[in-house]
Amino acid sequence: MNLQALSIQQFKRHGQEVLSDDILDCLHDDIMITNNISYTELFKYPCRLDAITMLICLDGELRGTVNLKQYVLGKNSVFLGLPTDIIQINSVTNLKMYVIIISTSLLKEVNVEIQNIMSLYLKIRQRSIYVIADKEFNLLNHYYALTQAAIHSKDESARSIIKALLTAFLYHICSFVNKQEYVVDEKSKKHMLRNEYAYDRFMNLLSKFHTKERYVTFYAAKMCITPKYLSMIIKEVSGKSAANWIDEYVVLEAKNSLKYSNLSIQEVAYHLNFATQSSFGKYFKQQTGFSPKQYINQMNW
């Protein structure tokens, strides 16, 4: 079982240790917003949040990874991250950005039809970044300003106001996400869909079992295909082999555990199903160039 994702409360506490208190606007532990790019420091190391994460880029560029997949966020574009995602920001250039983080508990209270939420979820699973038109982008700016004003008001009705704003905001998100579809010929589409379905299934299995299973044969057996065929599909879709994805996912989980949990190195090793702390240490160093202890020390530099 994976380590529990960080709550907004835990993430906020970490932010107060790293950043000044005045750059984060929060309503209890339900929503956090900021337009200060220093906030990206909190994503310097791999981080999984129990929340919906939205990065709205006004200008400049942000480069990072989501579940090891490389992304570039540019002007007039929006990143949408799910609670299961592990996010890491690698670099920023002349960045102007809004960050909105919404807890899953608050999201459950928002009045949006379930079919819209499920449709949005499936699309975000396939694609996390969307470039949107100026008119729609200006709408997002207005929602951000209204949400910030509601938080600053300290009014008793602030939570109800924010829930209403989020309802409208999510419907607009659904609208512009649904407008953006890939255009491909039918033959290519069928081939792409088959391979992408297999890739998505592999990544779902990897997300579920990577703390217990590190061999391609296990995942191939789950998918009822040969390890060779699985590796070929994954390589074709992602440019990386299935074995590479397994190693990188395990290392990502290890880094997240070493950074944010209270587990000892030995406990992290057992959490990831290594027989001994020594075998985990050798594996981690082979993959990263650092021992687990060196990695922990590096984070404090």
User: What token pair was written down for 261?
Assistant: 């949990």
* Statement to judge: residues 262 and 210 lie in one domain: yes
Q: Determine, yes or no, domain membership for 1.
A: no
Q: Determine, yes or no, domain membership for 117.
A: yes
The last residue of one of the domains, among 118, 153, 179, is 179
CATH number, domain of 215, equals: 1.10.10.60
* Statement to judge: residues 143 and 278 lie in one domain: no
Report the DSSP beta bridge partners of residue 54. Answer: 80, 100
With tokens 């950043």, the residue in question is: 19
Q: 187-225: per-residue pLDDT in tens?
A: 444 544 677 778 878 888 888 898 999 999 999 999 999
CA distance 233 to 219: 13
- Alpha-carbon distances, residue 134 vs 66, 139, 145, 176 (angstroms): 26, 9, 17, 12
Pair 182, 118: CB distance under 8 Å:
no
User: What token pair was written down for 56?
Assistant: 């709205």
Q: 79-109: per-residue pLDDT in tens?
A: 988 877 888 899 999 999 988 888 877 877 7
Confidence of residue 19 (pLDDT cuts 50, 70, 90): low
* Statement to judge: residues 45 and 144 lie in one domain: yes
Q: Determine, yes or no, domain membership for 2.
A: no
* Statement to judge: residues 157 and 34 lie in one domain: yes
With tokens 């010929």, the residue in question is: 185
* Statement to judge: residues 252 and 123 lie in one domain: no
Number of domains in the chain: 2
Residue 135: domain span: 8-179
Q: Which of 49, 55, 84 is nearest to 72 (CA)?
A: 55
CA distance 181 to 30: 32
- Alpha-carbon distances, residue 95 vs 59, 174, 234 (angstroms): 6, 25, 33
The last residue of one of the domains, among 145, 179, 213, is 179
User: What token pair was written down for 157?
Assistant: 């009705």
Contacts of 26 (CB under 8 A, 6+ apart): 8, 12, 32, 33, 151
Q: What is the pTM of this model?
A: 0.63
Q: In the predicted model, is pLDDT for residue 186 greater than 60?
A: no
Q: What sign does the dihedral 66-49-216-192 (CA atoms) show?
A: negative
Pair 123, 144: CB distance under 8 Å:
no
* Statement to judge: residues 239 and 140 lie in one domain: no
